[in-house]
Amino acid sequence: MKDEFSFIKSIIPNHIQQQSLRIGIGDDAAVYESDSSVDQVVCVDTMVEGIHFRKDTMEPVQIGRKALAINISDLAAMGATPRFYLTTIAVPPTWTEDHLREIYRGMSELGKQFKMDLIGGDTVSIEQSLVITVTAIGTVASGSAIKRTSARKDDIVFVTGPIGGSAAGFDLLNERTKDGHFSSNELSYVKMHQEPMPQVELGELFSQSNQRMSLNDISDGLSSEIFEIAVASNVQVILNKAHIVKLSPQLDVSLEKRVKWSLNGGEDFQLVGTTSAEQYEVLQKQAKAIGFSLFPVGVVREGKPAVFLDDGDKELPLEMGGYNHFKRG
């Protein structure tokens, strides 16, 4: 397999069997009608040792926490409220029962924060590399789930917080391991990688606003996530380099590295969205009222789906960057 995204596109069913399905493959989570007032939102993600985490960069409790956090972030990107989760774990001989208890403790602590219940799963053995798969279930008011398909000309593109911090933290961990010495500033980025926080409150705010907007969570990198919105909405997105730099990791490295972390690093689990300028101002006020802020990073225009980076002098075309499981190098 050469490309994760083209493979996913190739397996999308061309016929729906269940008429209760509202959103299938192609967004952060699937949505199906539960009753006349509530839709169920379901997502699943897998973390593999050596690819998504290592023992020398994260503690077992952090691995468990992150395994649930990435699923909660997908629910947040649909505007859903988290409710339940299931966990399947494949355990090699190199992991002890104490390690596993710590992994589940990490999930439990984050689950309690969002009032989620663990309702099932499976535990199996495997020869090499720990594998954790989490399925998360949430709810949203009927017809209120936010999709990627609603971006329109002249929309503001915004994010809900700093971007690139997780990638910066991973670079530091990769260099020094979790037992290394970090300054207080460096440690803040290390924690962004080890202990990301899903933006559930903002996702709920957005879905309850009942306004036109598109939304995605930043798991594979800003360039990849906004490209998905551009394709789904059949528009072009112009990202502003100066605005991105302000939100990038404030470390003593080159400006280009900071921008690369922000565009392609991934695992920030902030939200990226688009909405009209008028509605953006409304949402910004509502976000600040509950202790959050939104940050503009670009605009939407008509045209064949594409993403560009405006550096002040010219527009540079961006590929669908970010993490792709089946591309190397």
Residue numbers belonging to the annotated binding site = 28, 45, 52, 74, 104, 121-122, 148, 217, 219-220, 267, 323
Residues 130, 161, single domain; the answer is no
Boundary (domain end) residue, out of 115, 141, 167: 141
What HEC string does the chain produce?
A: CCCHHHHHHHCCCCCCCCCCEEECECECCEEEECCCCEEEEEEEEEEEECCCECCCCCCHHHHHHHHHHHHHHHHHHCCCEEEEEEEEEEECCCCCHHHHHHHHHHHHHHHHHCCCEEEEEEEEECCCCCEEEEEEEEEEECCCCCCCCCCCCCCEEEECCCCCHHHHHHHHHHHHCCCCCCCHHHHHHHHHHHCCCCCHHHHHHHHHHCCCCEEEECCCCHHHHHHHHHHHHCCEEEEEHHHHHHHCCCCCCCHHHHHHHHHHCCCCCCEEEEECHHHHHHHHHHHHHCCCCCEEEEEEECCCCEEEEECCCCEEEECCCCCCCCCCC
Quote the number of domains for the chain.
2
**Which pLDDT score is estimated for 328?**
44
Region 40-69: what's the mean pLDDT?
A: 96
Q: Are residues 203 and 129 in the same domain?
A: no
In this predicted structure, the answer to whether residue 11 has a pLDDT above a threshold of 90 is no
Domain containing residue 129: CATH number: 3.30.1330.10
Q: Is the per-residue pLDDT at 329 higher than 90?
A: no
- 57 shares its domain with 103: yes
Q: What residue numbers does the annotated binding site for Mg(2+) cover?
A: 28, 45, 74, 122, 217, 220
Is the domain of 169 the same as that of 243?
A: yes
Tell me the per-residue pLDDT of 168-215, one tens digit each, with 9 for 90 and over: 999 999 999 999 999 999 999 999 999 999 999 999 999 999 889 999
Binding residue ranges for substrate: 52, 267, 323
Please indicate, yes or no, whether residues 246 and 283 belong to a single structural domain of this protein.
Answer: yes
- Give the pLDDT confidence score for residue 74 in this predicted structure: 97
**55-95: pLDDT as tens digits:** 999 999 999 999 999 999 999 999 999 999 989 999 999 99
pLDDT band at 122 (very low <50, low <70, confident <90, very high): confident
* Residue 236 included in any domain: yes
pLDDT of residue 117: 86
Tell me: do 174 and 136 sit in the same domain: no
Instruction: State which residues form the domain around 311.
Output: 156-318
pLDDT tens-digit series, residues 259-276: 999 999 999 999 999 999
